Structure 1
Amino acid sequence: MKRPTIADIAREAGVSKVAVSYALNDQPGVSEQTRAKIKAIAQEVGWRPSSAARALNGARARAVGLAVCRPPRTLSVEPFFMELISGIESELAPRSIALMLQTVSSHADEIELYRVWWGEGRVDGALLVDLHVSDARVPALAALDLPVVALGPPQSAGALPTVWSDDATSMRETVAYLAALGHRALARVAGLPKLAHTAVRDAAFEAACRAAGLPDPVVTHTDYSGEDGARATRRLLIAEQRPTAIIYDNDVMAVAGLSVAQELAIDVPHELSLVAWDDSPFTQAVRPQLTALTRDIAAYGACAARTLLAAVDKGAVTSSQVPAAQLVPRASTSPPRRG
């Protein structure tokens, strides 16, 4: 079935296409009776204005864009993104605003995608995720005059409003907890080093270890996947000087790390303590249950969506700090076994 057009409505109503245009755009030039008849026919046939027509008329698209520069499989295995999207949708859906979601392979592709979406009137604004330490998307999107809200550290967002949490405070709390348990050899299986939040966590981890009087920690960067997390854990655990505690940058890698420890017959938590960043059902489905840094990711997404909608409405918009992740001790951490 072809998409209904203004010509179809005009033919059904027995009026000109100009009259239909006036009626559907609430412009003068037709009687109220004719306007009501045309709108009823439009609703009956399922007519919707095209994005190009909306752009020409300056009308709202009633959609916001979210491009993710990661492999599509990331969205199927990374609980963070699904929780984030659920929070975004909790603000958009009640307002009948759509979320345009697309994965891209590079920042250049992402910038071009936003140019197309904005130029064709397909979105009213955009959410920018996975900020880089030096991020070419920030000045490019600012130059488009597209309403944008970034999720991540403000220092990497330029003039864009951001929604962010204090990862440094969460990292200091975790290191202090492990040091209080008696751990001296700490390691971290981190995410991509070019990501701004990874850099914040890297710096905070090393500074917290120094403040606690611990030896220089080991940091291994990965792509966040379970496979890469398992490889990194295996390298740490077969090393001559293996850590007694490992902090993971996401829950997927922490679960994979637990499997590697069990594969090598290393007792968790007595020989090795494990901590996952971002709590999820994964961390509580395994045995032992994983100590985790928990935060309300859905609320994080909802805050970002509200901030973006305010920007779209030309309201006063400022950056928002959401609560930092809180440490929840479970069975995967304990004092290290002596001897």
Structure 2
Amino acid sequence: MRRPTIMDIARAAGVSKGAVSYALNGRPGVSEATRERILSIASDLGWAPSNPARALAPGGRVGAIGMVVDRPARSLGIEPFFMQLVSGVETELAAVGIDLMLQVADNVDSEIAVYRRWAAERRVDGVVIVDLRVEDPRPEAMGVLPLPAVVLGGPEGTGGLPCLYTDDAASVREVVHYLAALGHRRIVRVAGPEDFVHTRDRSAAFQQAARRAGLDEARTVHADYSGEDGGRTTRRLLADAEPPTALVYDNDLMALAGLGVASEMGVDVPSQLSIVAWDDSALCRLVRPSLTAISRDVVAHGRRVAQMLNGVLSGERVANEETPLGELRPRGSTGPLLP
């Protein structure tokens, strides 16, 4: 069906295009009765302003923000973290009439190319950058684009962009101390990609906490956040001559896959193997045994980062902000190491 135009409204109202423009834009030039009649007809016809045209006006905004995600496409649709994050962002944006444009990229270069295209075509007003990387080129690239941005991550390496960040190190230390208190000595952390800043920070905190607890055999291995890779990694670890007695996963999806592999290999959870997940989505409470996890309000993070970006777009001075610490929620997947 053809999109209704200002001319269609003018014909239906029996007025000029100029009068319709005055009415729709709240400008003087028409009587209040005529304005109300034009607005009523526009509503009946299903008219809505053109975002590109609105963006061309002085100080105009498209009414959309963008987010590009570089994660395995096969797992993104079921990855609880991003499902909750997008839910929070959408909830906040819907309340103020702003759309979210979400796109998947294969790598950082492709992601930057998307930002350049969005800026050139005025597709979005600003972007939320996720998965901050070590020596990340994106903040510098955003510095030369007319595209405001807020980073979910940091606070280091953001290139001066405002950011919403979490002290993951504190949660990692709590997990290590908890597992050590249960008698576990061979603890392995199944982490995300090495080039993510939050992976680096968690890894450093993990090794530091392990040293302080005297856990000489504690180590970190890397996977790609997908259930498939998490399962393969778990299978290799449990097949070792001296397998770990505790596994700490960097997301819920890998932890769920690890729980399934343990059952497949006849390893009892938690008497022979304790498992800790990260993010604590509803999936952690639906499986048996339920998964011990670091709980974070990811939906609230999504809402807050959207609020911060909207503040930037409104000309406000937006400062870096730290989220509340994650909370360890012990459940059935962890317990004392039995002989």
Aligned-residue offset at 1:125: 2.0
- State the match for 2:310 in structure 1: 309
CA distance in 2, matches of 1:109, 1:38: 45
SS at match of 1:207: helix
Cα distance, 1:29 vs structure 2: 4.1
Q: State the number of aligned residues.
A: 338
Q: Identify if the C-alpha distance between structure 1 residues 223 and 267 changes in structure 2 by more than 3 Å, giving closer, same or farther.
A: same
**Secondary structure at the counterpart of residue 124 of structure 2:** coil
Partner of 1:293: 294
| Corresponding position of 1:5 | 5
> Secondary structure in 2 aligned to 1:143?
coil
* Residue pairs, 1:1-339, within 5 angstroms: 1-58=1-58, 59-338=60-339
Q: Is the 1:55–1:120 Cα contact (8 Å) retained in structure 2?
A: no
Between 1:204-213 and 1:12-21, the stretch displaced more is: 12-21
Any conservation in 2 of the 1:175–1:205 contact (CA below 8 Å)?
Answer: yes
Query: Which stretches in structure 2 are left out of the alignment for 5+ residues?
Result: none
1-side partners of 2:166 and 2:70: how far apart?
Answer: 21
Report if the CA contact (8 A) 1:210-1:216 is conserved: no
The farther-off stretch of 235-244 and 63-72 is 63-72
Query: Counterpart amino acid of 1:5?
Result: T
8 A contact 1:126–1:308 mirrored in 2: yes
Using the alignment, how far apart are the partners of 2:110 and 2:32 within structure 1?
47
The TM-score with structure 1 as length reference comes to 0.93
Shift of 1:148: 1.2
- CA deviation string 1:53-97 (max 9, x = no partner): 112213222222222122444332111111112222232222222
Contact 1:69 1:104 in 2 (8 A): yes
Is residue 293–residue 330 contact of structure 2 (8 Å, CA) maintained in 1? yes
Deviations 1:296-337 (CA, angstroms, capped at 9, x unpaired): 111111111111111111112101111121111112112222
Preserved contact between residue 22 and residue 30 of structure 2 (Cα < 8 Å): yes
Q: Secondary structure at the match of 2:267?
A: coil
Q: Taking structure 2 as the reference length, what is the TM-score of the superposition?
A: 0.93
Aligned counterparts of 1:228 and 1:64: Cα–Cα separation in 2: 32
**Letter matched to residue 11 of structure 2:** R
SS at 2:294 equivalent: strand
Shift of 1:222: 0.8
Instruction: Give secondary structure in 2 for the equivalent of 1:275.
Output: strand
What SS class does the counterpart of residue 156 from structure 1 fall into? coil
Work out the CA distance in 2 between the residues paired with 1:230 and 1:329. 22
Shift of 1:137: 1.4
Larger CA deviation: 62-71 vs 261-270: 62-71
> What do the CA deviations read for 1:214-249 (whole angstroms, capped 9, x no partner)?
114232211111111011011111112211111011
Q: By how many angstroms is 1:209 displaced?
A: 0.8
Q: What is the CA distance between 1:131 and its match in structure 2?
A: 1.1
% identity of equivalent residues: 54
User: CA separation in 1, counterparts of 2:73 and 2:236?
Assistant: 27
1:239 and 1:153 map into 2 onto residues whose CA distance is: 36
- 1:32 offset after TM fit, Å? 4.0
- Whole-Å separation in 2 of the counterparts to 1:42 and 1:73: 43
AA aligned to 2:199 is T
CA contact (8 A) 2:185 2:218 kept: no
| Preserved contact between residue 207 and residue 219 of structure 2 (Cα < 8 Å) | no
Partners in 2 of 1:5 and 1:98 — Cα distance? 22
Letter in 2 for 1:205: F
Kindly state the Cα deviation for residue 30 of structure 1 after the two structures are TM-superposed: 4.0
CA distance in structure 2 between the partners assigned to 1:50 and 1:108 by the alignment: 30
| Aligned counterparts of 2:17 and 2:164: Cα–Cα separation in 1 | 46
Report the Cα distance in structure 1 between the residues aligned to 2:294 and 2:30, rounded to whole angstroms. Answer: 61
Deviation >6 Å, runs of 4+: none
